[in-house]
């Protein structure tokens, strides 16, 4: 990815932090999680553009989906 890309830093979300833990599932690679995040973002936008969801509905669906994909233990 080029420097300054919007997805910079997303790759660190699934890795343990300095406090010794992570609330995300570490069984999936950071590259995979970045790709899924981008695709789900595009899907949310497409749903709004097609009139099947409001912006608020798509944002909520994206948020919920990403929490599940990342394996977050808390919402």
pLDDT tens digit string along 21-48? 556 667 888 899 999 999 999 999 999 9
User: pTM above the 0.85 mark?
Assistant: no
3-state secondary structure the chain: CCCCCCCCCHHHCCCCCCCCCCCCCCCCCHHHHHHHHHHHHHHHHHHHHCCCCCHHHHHHHHHHHHHHHHCCCCC
Predicted local confidence at residue 28, as pLDDT: 85
Please check whether residue 4 lies inside any domain of the structure. Answer: no
Domain total in the chain: 1
Please check whether residue 20 lies inside any domain of the structure. Answer: no
Please check whether residue 1 lies inside any domain of the structure. Answer: no
Please check whether residue 34 lies inside any domain of the structure. Answer: yes
Average pLDDT over residues 5-30: 58
More confident of the two residues 73 and 48: 48
Predicted local confidence at residue 75, as pLDDT: 60
Residue 42 is part of which domain span? Answer: 27-68
Please check whether residue 48 lies inside any domain of the structure. Answer: yes
Inter-CA distances, 10 with 35, 43, 53, 56, 74, Å: 10, 18, 26, 22, 18
């Amino acid at each position: 990815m080029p420097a300054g890309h919007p997805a910079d830093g997303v790759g660190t979300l699934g890795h343990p932090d300095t406090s010794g833990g992570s609330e995300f599932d570490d069984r999936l690679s950071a590259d995979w999680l970045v790709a899924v995040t981008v695709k789900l973002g595009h899907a949310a936008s497409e749903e709004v553009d097609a009139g099947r969801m409001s912006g608020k509905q798509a944002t909520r669906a994206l948020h919920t989906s990403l929490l599940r994909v990342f394996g977050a233990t808390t919402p």
